[in-house]
Amino acid sequence: MAKEVTIAVDAMGGDHAPGMVIEGIAQARTLFPGTRFHIYGDEAQIKPLLEAHQELAAASEVFHTEEVVTSDMKPSQALRRGRNSSMGLALQAVKDGSADVAISAGNTGALMALSKFILRTMPGIDRPALTSPLPTLRGESVMLDLGANVECDANNLVQFAIMGAAYVRTVLGLSNPTVALLNVGVEDLKGKDSIRAAAEVLRASEHLPLQFTGFVEGNDIGAGVVDVVVTDGFTGNVALKMAEGTARLMTELLGRAFRSSISTKLGYLLSRHGLRSLRDHLDPNNHNGGVFLGLNGLVMKSHGGANAHGFASAVTSAIDMAQNDLIRLISEDLEQIPADSADTEAAGAA
């Protein structure tokens, strides 16, 4: 029987909060009716929205706070002033054990800073990483880190690979995912020392529940060559924004092309079902939800501009991770490479 999950929700984070948040968790609960929600934010705004969803209201508890982490608040300010905000209280609920996952569409930098301060990193993890599913020709892959760590050493990359593989096993349901390091070439001699050192450790770690395939290049990400792409946060964030921008470019150019003449408008009518399928596959709301991996608790980050459907996607992913005990999976996998970590440091220093 599936574990009943409690989600701590920052109702005030995001461009369209709290309306988008309440509508999103209502949609998610139709798929997981046993889920309960602890909702943090301005009760005067939240309660009227819940009245439109009686079943959700019965499964929810509202915790009032007027303090909010704003979109322009610096991480240092969030650490000083955000502990009693809707974001901070949702994270504290995970630490206290009253909730299984915290979710927010608010300020990413502030959420990462508060998450690290309140939950701390797992034993064996030096730095948490941000990961998210990406649309590919094969369906979905994940990439990490997407911006939490600008510079990474070999140990960080090995840890990211283990966490990313555990995430894929949990959320995408792949028992033995393929993993590769993003590099400037697929040859063994290409790339920085840290990347090559991480590759050596992953090749030697035969007991991990993953298939390390070596290196991939940027054009392999969209092709879905592997299930998990591992890189530093600087490169990962640039690649993610480039992919999102390319998707918007394609959508806009196709729209212009089909509006350019009567014949192209007729062509659109004949191909509209296929184009809608393409649009849905590229829509960020259908792949919404980045998770901070490596913390002593689950934290889900939704896009700030997500709509209700996008927020619901993030909530359902969070429920999957909690029901499949992602934290435990990562801990067990980390235990498979105790000796290799020292080798990674030595290789990086060399």
Would the pLDDT of 350 be above 50? no
pLDDT at 279: 63
- Please report which confidence band the pLDDT of residue 278 belongs to, taking 50, 70 and 90 as the band edges: low
Would the pLDDT of 102 be above 70? yes
Neighbours of 232 (CB within 10 A): 24
Residue-wise pLDDT for 180-236, tens only, equals 999 998 888 788 899 999 999 998 887 888 899 999 998 898 888 999 999 998 998
Say if residues 300 and 105 touch (Cβ distance below 8 Å): no
332: its two tokens: 């067990």
Would the pLDDT of 237 be above 90? no
Would the pLDDT of 155 be above 70? yes
DSSP 303: -
Cα 86 to Cα 106: distance, rounded to the nearest angstrom: 10
47: its two tokens: 């309660």
Question: C-alpha angle with apex 301: 119 to 85, nearest 5 degrees?
Answer: 60
Q: Which of 29-38, 137-146, 195-204 has the lowest mean pLDDT?
A: 137-146
Q: What is the CA radius of gyration of the chain?
A: 21
Cα dist from 50 to 8, 17, 306, whole Å: 16, 13, 19
Residue-wise pLDDT for 305-330, tens only, equals 888 888 998 999 899 889 888 888 88
pLDDT at 281: 58
DSSP 224: T
pLDDT at 195: 92
Domains of the chain with bracketed CATH:
1-119 (3.40.718.10), 127-285+325-350 (3.40.718.10)
77: its two tokens: 């300010």
Would the pLDDT of 345 be above 60? no
- Closest to 228 measured CA to CA, from 155, 159, 285: 159
Residue-wise pLDDT for 41-86, tens only, equals 999 999 999 999 989 999 999 999 999 999 889 989 999 988 899 9
Say if residues 191 and 154 touch (Cβ distance below 8 Å): no
Cis geometry, peptide bond prior to residue 18 (ω within 30 degrees of 0): yes
DSSP 213: E
pTM beyond cutoff 0.85: no
- How confident is the model over 252-269, as a mean pLDDT? 80
- Please report which confidence band the pLDDT of residue 285 belongs to, taking 50, 70 and 90 as the band edges: low
Q: Which of 68-82, 135-149, 158-172, 190-204 has the lowest mean pLDDT?
A: 135-149
pLDDT at 283: 61
Would the pLDDT of 115 be above 90? yes
pLDDT at 182: 94
- How confident is the model over 332-345, as a mean pLDDT? 60
